[in-house]
Amino acid sequence: MLALACAALPADAQPLRVATFNAELTRKGPGLLLRDILKGDDPQISAFTALLLKVRPDIIALQGVDYDLKGTAVQALVSTLESGGLSYPHRFTAAPNAGQASGLDLNGDGRLGDADDAHGFGRFNGMGGMAILSRFPVQRDVVEDYTPLLWRDFPGNIYPMIGAAPFGGQGVHNVHRLSSRGHWVVPVETPDNGTLRLMTFHATPPLYDGDEDRNGRRNHDEVAFWNAYLDEDERTEPFILLGTANIDPKRGSGRRGAIRGLLAHPLLQNPFGDAPTAIFSEAMPEGLQVDYLLPSTDWKVIAQGIETAPGASRHSLLWVDLGRANP
């Protein structure tokens, strides 16, 4: 565990604890996550619950949680946490691109219907989605959901080309979405700090493709989306950018330009430096920095931590305690 105190709060202010966690709560088919939650004895879910009961964030962005239309699995997770004394009366989730059938050969392997032919990699609709759990009200009517954005419509995109033609052909180029899961801006109304905008996403790993580097290029542009968004954003509410970028600015595979640009953005601060956040293999036991929690400079970082629970996920949970820099 890493935990650092950075500053003191005024006596009358309450710190806001925000977290992000790629929980890897994915299963091999629809409904199986709900089944495992309701059984009450699944070791991974028990480890997940223990971790959240330990950290007790006010707001947490989750990645890697199987989605269903009625949000039943997320509700079951919330009920499990509530039985342990941690209540999240407000939630947001939405259909990810993961597992949504495209009807086309997106990965160019000559076959239709593979998990990699979905708008985002997924063996079933909703595999490995995202969710936000909050103690405070979510302004659902003004959520910005960029999940349907076409890759070709993202300015400056580096969509893979084979000569002068787009990889997969024009039909694929016409429907290929940028987000492998989703890109959301979710406003939350906090009691002491006004409206907080959560900018969250879960990018594809820059691996598992061919010479065209489709996943490497997509990962780059999924991260670059936020650089472009922040450069055009004119609102004044404080925000936090958080989620799984699946790219380390120094180590491992991938195109690093976008993540390096994001970490250097003048509107953001990075309380965690270059600390690794996930361990994927014994070949790289030091781990990689692939998960990020980047408060805007409107915030004073009071404390921060990285909590690791191998029984829950290969990823660590990142949390920060925040107060307004200029209350």
Longest dimension (CA), the chain: 64
Using DSSP bridges, classify how beta strands 161-162 and 317-324 pair: parallel, antiparallel or unpaired.
Answer: unpaired
pLDDT digits 0-9 by tens, 237-247: 899 999 999 99
Q: What pTM was computed for the model?
A: 0.94
Residue 244, pLDDT score = 98
Q: Which residues pair with 268 in a beta bridge?
A: 296
Residue 325, pLDDT score = 83
| Cα separations in angstroms, 228 against 33, 157, 224, 289 | 35, 11, 6, 22
Task: Output the six-digit token pair for 164.
Answer: 């002068």
| Cα separations in angstroms, 250 against 207, 214, 290 | 16, 21, 11
Contact between 228 and 181 (Cβ < 8 Å): no
Q: Which domain holds residue 33?
A: 2-324
Residue ranges in the chain whose pLDDT is less than 70: 1-13, 327
Using DSSP bridges, classify how beta strands 299-307 and 291-295 pair: parallel, antiparallel or unpaired.
Answer: unpaired
Residue 4, pLDDT score = 45
**DSSP string covering 93-133:** E---SBT-B-SS-TT-SS-SS-GGGBSBS-SSTTTTEEEEE
Residue 63, pLDDT score = 98
Number of domains in the chain: 1
- The rounded distance, in Å, linking the Cα atoms of 76 and 279 is 28
Residue 326, pLDDT score = 76
The domain that holds 32 is classified in CATH as 3.60.10.10
Residue 13, pLDDT score = 63
**Close Cβ partners of 21 (under 8 Å, ≥ 6 residues apart):** 51, 52, 60, 61, 62, 63, 291, 313, 315, 316, 317, 318
**DSSP string covering 233-264:** ----S-EEEEEE----SSSSSS--HHHHHHHT
In one-letter notation, the amino acid at residue 292 is: Y
Contact between 58 and 322 (Cβ < 8 Å): no
Q: Nearest Cα to 139, choosing from 72, 90, 181, 183?
A: 90
